[in-house]
């Protein structure tokens, strides 16, 4: 999958999640490419467009801790329960070097999961993972 198609797939999935949840699940997300010792931001959507890059490494640290020692396959995802504020709540591997990081800047996953509609809102996220498993970001 190319970058414009990946961006569109994420936008559709996030929209479907928000509709199922009756409110915003993730108010920001970023697609990144990770190379040996560096990464690059491919696209960002959210309220911190002017500032998110300065804190990005620290904002993904809790997720990196959760993923340490885990070999993520394309389509695999991970959540952090208590990623307060700007700390990212979820990560999905989209391709050999591509990842999606998602966040709700005002709620943690623990708070999001308290609403029973979360169970329905998960389906588009799982569908998105299957989509990238079948057609990874190159």
Which residues of the chain carry a pLDDT beneath 70? Answer: 36-37
| pLDDT of 122 | 95
Residue from 68, 57, 13, 9 nearest 32 by CA? 57
What is the value of pTM for the model shown?
0.92
Q: What's the CA gap between 47 and 29, in Å, rounded? A: 10
| pLDDT of 22 | 97
DSSP secondary structure code for residue 73 in this structure: P
**Sequence-distant (≥ 6) Cβ neighbours of residue 131 within 8 angstroms:** 9
Q: What's the CA gap between 126 and 21, in Å, rounded? A: 15
Q: How far is CA 27 from CA 17, 18, 37, 61, 107, in A?
A: 11, 10, 28, 19, 10
> What are residue 84's DSSP bridge partners?
none
Residue 130, domain CATH? 3.30.450
| pLDDT of 55 | 86
Longest dimension (CA), the chain: 40
Structural domain range at position 42: 3-134
| pLDDT of 1 | 93
Number of domains the chain contains = 1
| pLDDT of 111 | 94
| pLDDT of 16 | 97
């Amino acid at each position: 999958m190319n970058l414009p198609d990946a961006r569109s797939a994420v936008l559709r999935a996030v929209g479907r999640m928000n509709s199922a949840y009756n409110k915003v699940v993730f108010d920001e997300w970023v697609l990144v490419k990770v190379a040996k010792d560096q990464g690059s931001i491919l696209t960002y959507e959210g309220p911190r467009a002017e500032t998110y890059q300065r804190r990005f490494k620290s904002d993904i640290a809790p997720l990196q801790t959760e993923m340490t020692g885990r070999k993520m396959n394309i389509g695999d995802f991970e959540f952090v329960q208590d990623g307060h504020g700007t700390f990212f709540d979820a990560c999905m591997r989209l391709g050999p070097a591509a990842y999606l990081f998602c966040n709700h800047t005002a709620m943690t996953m623990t708070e999001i999961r308290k609403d029973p509609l979360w169970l329905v809102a998960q389906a588009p996220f799982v569908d998105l993972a299957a989509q990238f498993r079948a057609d990874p970001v190159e």
